[in-house]
Structure 1
């Protein structure tokens, strides 16, 4: 499985846009809430411990160190369940864009998000272990989202998680 599965698996998972499109921060929050459904399935499937759930909870906290390879495996499982990879085991750009649009992104924002992930994939393509590669792509993506000031706040994420439960 390709590490790119992470693509939109953690709030893409992302340019404040003109017109009626929601802000990128609102989009990330909405997308993050949507992942809670696949988290439970992957948690059971992979038999991951509470430490991985702690990583998931703290994902958007910039100061939190993401170092556990198993988080990469969790991310890969989630994106597979969201059908965001192609037959070549790499991010399927069209499906990823559609996923973003189904959560409120307009065409330009969806393409921008896919471009961010693609850049991270390219940067870490030499990492051979799929779970480790997914973790590196996730860290790269999180950094880019924080640089753009698009990361959702912990308070908003908790509210989304609690209402999805």
Structure 2
């Protein structure tokens, strides 16, 4: 009886669309894909080669290398594109919260993501080159997201890319 009650509560919660039901990995996937929409806009400005563009799509893979300054420049450009940076070229907390919350159930992950980014920024604050600093922050963000079980799998992202390509 207790098990049936739990299933009923879960089903009702899912039907009500409460934020905690949709997995944080799914939200992270949506935020990743949404953020990635600015990549083409930033390609030339960041001097990304075709090879680096392709590599960029593998950001969440374990073996992704954070070696190219141009990738950091692209992330910097993409962050500016969505108005996620303040005057000091550091994360604008309010705008970043709003950006994340603009995705379905983004409020589930907003504070956690902003906290991770903020912590990573503090660790790399001494780096004066914006592109290198943001690249190191992205690397830290990825590691911490993976450690917390928030990172989407490459299979999940690739399935989404394929679905979007078919539209």
TM-score normalized by structure 2?
Answer: 0.80
Could you say which residue in structure 2 is the equivalent of 1:127? 127
Gapped runs of 5+ residues in structure 2?
1-17
Structure 1 window deviating more from structure 2 (145-154 vs 100-109): it is 100-109
Question: Post-superposition shift, 1:160?
Answer: 2.1
Cα distance in 1 for residues equivalent to 2:44 and 2:163? 21
Could you say which residue in structure 1 is the equivalent of 2:65? 65
- Asked whether the equivalents of residues 85 and 92 of structure 1 are also in contact (C-alpha less than 8 Å), the reply is yes
TM-score normalized by structure 1?
Answer: 0.81
Three-state SS of the structure 1 residue aligned to 2:95 is helix
Q: Residue 34 and residue 109 in structure 1: after superposition, are their counterparts in 2 closer, same or farther (change >3 A)?
A: closer
Aligned counterparts, 1:2-13, within 5 A: none
Could you say which residue in structure 2 is the equivalent of 1:42? 42
Cα distance in 2 for residues equivalent to 1:35 and 1:23? 19
Question: Post-superposition shift, 1:106?
Answer: 5.2
Larger Cα-atom Rg: 2
Q: Residue 55 and residue 148 in structure 1: after superposition, are their counterparts in 2 closer, same or farther (change >3 A)?
A: same
1:20 aligns with 2:54: no
Three-state SS of the structure 2 residue aligned to 1:91 is coil
Gapped runs of 5+ residues in structure 1?
1-18
Question: Post-superposition shift, 1:107?
Answer: 4.1
- Asked whether the equivalents of residues 55 and 71 of structure 1 are also in contact (C-alpha less than 8 Å), the reply is no
- Asked whether the equivalents of residues 55 and 66 of structure 1 are also in contact (C-alpha less than 8 Å), the reply is no
Question: Post-superposition shift, 1:162?
Answer: 3.2
Aligned counterparts, 1:1-165, within 5 A: 19-21=18-20, 22-105=22-105, 107=107, 109-165=109-165
Q: Residue 23 and residue 85 in structure 1: after superposition, are their counterparts in 2 closer, same or farther (change >3 A)?
A: same
Cα distance in 1 for residues equivalent to 2:93 and 2:121? 12
Residues 73-124 of structure 1 deviation map (CA, whole Å, 9 limit, x = unaligned): 0100111101111233221101111111111345463111101000000000
- Asked whether the equivalents of residues 70 and 131 of structure 2 are also in contact (C-alpha less than 8 Å), the reply is yes
| CA RMSD after TM alignment | 1.7
